[in-house]
């Protein structure tokens, strides 16, 4: 569905040229859900905007949905759906109008656009909002409307840019369900960007990790997580002496009343830890388990922590 070779984009700014994307290769097969994971400013959105014909690459070639990105942009546009990061509907417009106009811009007949629009809304738990002004929708509802807008013409390939950013956890989990059904029920290929590891984990068959405009790792979520050193367990003790004894016993690092342990898996390792503490008659006041975060994955893949830069 996507075949990109050496795709690059340099922006000219007053401060000099900025290489937002530095010659990436990527392949997405039909029916895959692929996640593009990276911090803000890594080049995710720039890559997406190139693949959706919004900006021209400064180097490289790509075939998207069976057509050459540079030579046949209109054919590419016909076959893809794009859900941008910042929304796409006018606050003063009615939901139904936006859906129908969007469908008709793709050449659909008005009646077909109405029928498909209503079906999409029902599928996204948005039945009954047809006549509402889009500004009266909640954040989660508006995000689902954005997705409906991107699907109105039944594209085979859907690009989602940060689909759940700014949503509360409940709305996020709900949206994940809908993204999965894009593939499972509609057979669409999905390419999404995210800077949430748990999102990539929950949704994607494959993850591409991008940093500084380059793909630094690619693989299934489990595969990537195995590269991270495992879970961190923090035990809190009543006094520093108990902590020091425990640290010695468990081969952990001591920090005042805190003991920090690295375990390949907390679920498997913790019973043994508690048995050992019990035998030594030490009882921690608190236990905290830290699963690998995007920061950890990043740290282990790139050697530096996840930054928060201005998006390119």
> Which residues form the interface with another protein (CB under 8 A)?
49, 52-56, 74, 77-78, 80, 82, 84, 86-93, 97, 101-102, 104-107, 149
- Our CB check for another protein shows the closer of 60 and 230 to be 60
- Chain-centroid distance, C-alpha 266: 25
Q: How far is CA 154 from CA 128, 255, 258, in A?
A: 21, 56, 55
Could you tell me the two tokens for 198?
Answer: 């748990």
- Our CB check for another protein shows the closer of 74 and 267 to be 74
How far is it, in rounded angstroms, from Cα 149 to Cα 131?
A: 15
Could you tell me the two tokens for 194?
Answer: 């995210």
Distance in Å, CB of 89 to another protein, minimum: 7
Distance in Å, CB of 157 to another protein, minimum: 12
Distance in Å, CB of 102 to another protein, minimum: 7
- Our CB check for another protein shows the closer of 9 and 206 to be 9
Element containing residue 160 per DSSP (H, E): strand 157-161
Distance in Å, CB of 72 to another protein, minimum: 11
Residue 232 φ then ψ, to 5°? -105, 130
Distance in Å, CB of 49 to another protein, minimum: 8
Distance in Å, CB of 182 to another protein, minimum: 17
- Our CB check for another protein shows the closer of 133 and 202 to be 133
| 163 contacts: CB under 8 Å, gap ≥ 6 | 83, 143, 147, 175, 179, 192, 194
Token pair 């929708």 is found at 137
- Our CB check for another protein shows the closer of 133 and 301 to be 133
Other Cβ atoms closer than 10 A to 109 = 10
Q: Where are the beta strands (DSSP E) in 95-205?
A: 157-161, 189-194
- Our CB check for another protein shows the closer of 164 and 302 to be 164
């Amino acid at each position: 569905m996507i075949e990109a070779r050496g795709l690059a984009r340099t922006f000219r700014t007053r401060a000099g040229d900025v290489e937002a994307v530095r010659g990436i290769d990527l392949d997405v097969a039909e029916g895959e859900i692929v996640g593009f994971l990276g911090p803000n400013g890594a080049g995710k959105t720039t890559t997406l905007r190139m693949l959706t014909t919004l900006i021209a690459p400064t180097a490289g070639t790509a075939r998207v949905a069976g057509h050459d990105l540079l030579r046949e942009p209109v054919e590419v546009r016909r076959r893809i759906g794009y859900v941008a990061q910042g929304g796409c509907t006018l606050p003063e417009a009615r939901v139904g109008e936006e859906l129908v106009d969007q469908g008709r811009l793709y050449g659909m007949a008005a009646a077909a656009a109405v029928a498909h629009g209503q079906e999409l809304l029902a599928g996204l738990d948005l039945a009954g909002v047809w006549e509402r002004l889009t500004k009266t929708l909640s954040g989660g509802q508006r995000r689902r409307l954005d997705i409906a807008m991107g699907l109105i013409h039944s594209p085979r390939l859907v690009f989602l840019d940060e689909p759940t950013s700014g949503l509360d956890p409940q709305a996020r989990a709900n949206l994940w369900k809908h993204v999965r059904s894009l593939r499972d029920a509609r057979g669409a290929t999905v390419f999404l960007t995210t800077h949430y590891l748990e999102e990539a984990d929950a949704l994607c068959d494959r993850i591409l990790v991008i940093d500084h405009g380059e793909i630094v790792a690619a693989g299934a979520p489990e595969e990537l997580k195995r590269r991270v050193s495992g879970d961190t367990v923090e035990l809190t003790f009543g006094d520093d002496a108990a902590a020091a004894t425990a640290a010695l016993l468990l081969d952990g690092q001591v920090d005042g009343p805190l003991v920090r342990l690295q375990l390949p898996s907390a679920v498997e390792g913790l019973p043994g830890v508690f048995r050992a503490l019990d035998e030594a008659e030490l009882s921690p006041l608190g236990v905290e388990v830290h699963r690998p975060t995007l920061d950890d994955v990043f740290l282990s893949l790139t050697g530096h922590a996840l930054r928060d830069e201005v998006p390119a």
